[in-house]
């Protein structure tokens, strides 16, 4: 098994009510590969950064055993930059800046030895680029794709082409409604399954996640967090935990997809406990297992009561 | 065990994108007692209606074995009337009319033989009236209370008095945030527990419900419904299923509270499948049990995977 992650690497400026980080390591590929790396490695990464990308960022990925052969470094360019501010209600955020920089001309090139990757995770990037990645992969076992409202609205036609070629779409609640034009989430997932992906995962933040296949709806709880420091990257950490677990087990049965959703949720919960990628820095497999079990406790209830009558 | 329900009885005018019911039987006490009646009966009801209350409404309650001794009928008055319209997105509704009518001067009188009730469910009414009910009950084992933004904003001081005397508060997500002034739901529940109730249940509609005690957070999934015909009364049906199960089992252990939340969720899911109270009309205990088990399937995932390494 081999996991390939394609997405953005970024320098983020994050402000939350609890502090700020002016030049934090960010980007979908960064979070996805860091989260996935706790389950299997090396994780193969394809992305682009500018000459200003901090050495510390490269070191972080290397320490997480991320294979950087697919990382393009445009020396004279600047790294993708995003700046955002979260409100006291962390569900609300303002995007202050989005500078694509080297990402504007990004043309993902898959190194020859990555072409046999079995688990491919397409982070939230232009669906045209997502397609170009798929054109270069020989025979992926599972293609997982993330997207966002920006592409649903701005590149709808291209996104629909991409959706025909993926297995699992991960998107959030409002994106599911936007893409399907259907307010009911269960119906929305059905509509989206009709667009191509046979499995749809709807991330609902503090409400957990839904896994919807042809025959099953699985409802994963959210880990009850009182102290969320920074929601940035939670969705990507989810995708990383999800694909990491699939890569580790190479088992895409429904039962195991459910576990993968819980591992994704676990990694997302670690992610938001600290600033930027810090929550994904010093985890251990044991701590992840513990949290997995907490998720069980959270949603477990005993079989039917035998009333004394 | 004996369950007492106090709340409103109403004539509702409901419009949804799927149809309308100009004079439907409604009110919190109606839904709560109908839902609870599937678990234990008779359910003792205290409320008020006008001379215009349809005979059919009384017959419905009688058929559900609801004890109507506590139902005051003001012959010359008119029944509480509510009119609302749901949008295509059923999470959004406009209240078109609220006519208190006989409810304006309602002063709940608990019949002497109701005073020994052990499970008391205070539907969403003026907290002043909720307190007056509690003053008349001898020694309730558990007091469950529902409320809404209208009272949180308009009668905050009175509501805080009521909260000191109840065991379990049931409220929805936005109400929990409003009452606690805290956007994080887990923190919100903690703040609310500090106001009196040792157990808080947060209803989250399509996202399920949270049960929060001193030591536990339990996350109940929502039943995945593609066809919701009328969300009216779902929250009351939840409260009814919840208190009904507790009344049936007389067991307030944490494990059994979790089951009660699932039975509440099950009754809410039946409720919204049809118009008004129709979804609570012809249920059987067997169907309810089946749905209980569906909730288990929905959130169940297998114990840890043994990776082959």
Do residue A220 and residue B299 have CB atoms under 8 angstroms apart?
yes
The whole-number pLDDT of residue B306 equals 62
| Chain B residues touching residue A292 (CB < 8 angstroms) | 304
* A42: preceding bond cis by omega (within 30 degrees): yes
Confidence band (pLDDT; 50, 70, 90) for B1? confident
CB-nearest to B185 from A206, A221, A301 is A206
Cα B248 to Cα B101: distance, rounded to the nearest angstrom: 34
CB-nearest to A305 from B221, B259, B307 is B259
CB-nearest to A304 from B88, B89, B289 is B289
The whole-number pLDDT of residue A307 equals 54
The whole-number pLDDT of residue A6 equals 98
Cα A199 to Cα B154: distance, rounded to the nearest angstrom: 46
pLDDT at B245 over 70: yes
Whether the CB-CB separation of B217 and B211 falls below 8 Å is answered with: yes
The whole-number pLDDT of residue A308 equals 46
The whole-number pLDDT of residue A99 equals 95
Please give the helix or strand (H or E) that residue A19 lies within, else none.
strand A19-26
Q: How many CB atoms lie within 10 A of CB B138?
A: 10
CA B1 to chain centre: 19
Mean pLDDT of chain B: 95
Q: How many CB atoms lie within 10 A of CB A138?
A: 10
Partner A contacted by B168 (CB < 8 A): no
Which three-class secondary structure state does DSSP give residue A258? helix
Partner A contacted by B289 (CB < 8 A): yes
CB-nearest to B255 from A184, A185, A302 is A302
The region of weakest confidence among A90-94, B44-48, B255-259 is: A90-94
How does pLDDT run across B188-215, given as a tens digit for each residue?
Answer: 999 999 999 999 999 999 999 999 999 9
Do residue B218 and residue A90 have CB atoms under 8 angstroms apart?
no
The whole-number pLDDT of residue A90 equals 87
Q: What is the mean pLDDT of residues B246-255?
A: 96
How does pLDDT run across B102-154, given as a tens digit for each residue?
Answer: 999 999 999 999 999 999 999 999 999 999 999 999 999 999 999 999 999 99
Can you read off the two tokens belonging to residue A296? 């069980």
Confidence band (pLDDT; 50, 70, 90) for B303? confident
Task: Report ipTM (2 d.p.).
Answer: 0.90
The whole-number pLDDT of residue B280 equals 98
Beta bridge partners of B169: B145, B200
The whole-number pLDDT of residue B90 equals 87
| Chain B residues touching residue A215 (CB < 8 angstroms) | none
Can you read off the two tokens belonging to residue B202? 């947060």
Interface test with B, best of A18, A210, A224, A306 (most B CBs within 10 A): A224
Residues 6+ positions from B308 with CB-CB distance below 8 Å: none
Partner B contacted by A186 (CB < 8 A): yes
Please list the pLDDT of chain A residue by residue as tens digits (309 residues). Answer: 899 999 999 999 999 998 899 999 999 999 999 999 999 999 999 999 999 999 999 999 999 999 999 999 999 999 999 999 999 888 889 999 999 999 999 999 999 999 999 999 999 999 999 999 999 999 999 999 999 999 999 999 999 999 999 999 999 999 999 999 999 999 999 999 999 999 999 999 999 999 999 999 999 999 999 989 999 999 999 999 999 999 999 999 999 999 999 999 999 999 999 999 999 999 999 999 999 999 999 999 987 666 544
The whole-number pLDDT of residue A89 equals 85
Instruction: Identify how many contiguous H helices and E strands chain A contains and give both numbers.
Output: 10, 13
With CA atoms as reference, report the closest residue to B185 among B210, B208, B215, B153.
B210
Angle at B167 (CA atoms; ends B166, B171), nearest 5 degrees: 85
């Amino acid at each position: 098994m081999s996991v390939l992650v394609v997405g953005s690497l970024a320098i983020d400026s994050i402000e939350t009510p609890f502090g700020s980080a002016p030049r934090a390591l960010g980007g979908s590929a960064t979070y996805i590969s860091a989260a996935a790396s706790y389950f299997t490695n090396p994780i193969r990464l394809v992305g682009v950064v500018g000459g200003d990308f901090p050495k510390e960022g490269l070191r972080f990925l290397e320490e997480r055993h991320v294979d950087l052969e697919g990382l393009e470094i445009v020396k004279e360019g600047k790294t993708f930059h995003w700046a955002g501010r979260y409100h006291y209600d962390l569900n609300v955020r303002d995007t202050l800046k989005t500078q694509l920089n080297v990402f504007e001309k990004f043309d993902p090139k898959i190194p020859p030895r990555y072409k046999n990757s079995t688990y491919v995770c397409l982070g939230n990037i232009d669906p045209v680029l997502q397609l170009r990645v798929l054109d270069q992969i020989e025979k992926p076992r599972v293609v997982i794709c993330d997207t966002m409202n920006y592409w649903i609205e701005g590149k709808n036609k291209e996104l629909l082409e991409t959706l025909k070629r993926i297995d699992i779409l991960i998107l959030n609640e409002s994106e599911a409604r936007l893409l399907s034009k259907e307010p009911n989430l269960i119906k929305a997932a059905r509509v989206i399954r009709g667009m191509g992906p046979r499995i749809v995962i709807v991330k609902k933040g503090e409400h957990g996640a839904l896994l919807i296949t042809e025959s099953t709806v699985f409802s994963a709880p959210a880990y009850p967090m009182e102290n969320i420091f920074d929601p940035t990257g939670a969705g990507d950490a989810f995708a990383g935990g999800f694909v990491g677990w699939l890569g580790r087990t190479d088992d895409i049965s429904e039962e195991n997809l459910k576990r993968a959703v819980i591992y994704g949720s676990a990694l997302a919960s670690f992610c938001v406990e600290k600033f930027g990628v810090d929550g994904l820095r010093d985890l251990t497999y044991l701590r992840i297992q513990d949290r997995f079990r907490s998720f069980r406790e959270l949603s477990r209830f005993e079989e039917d009561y035998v009333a004394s009558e």
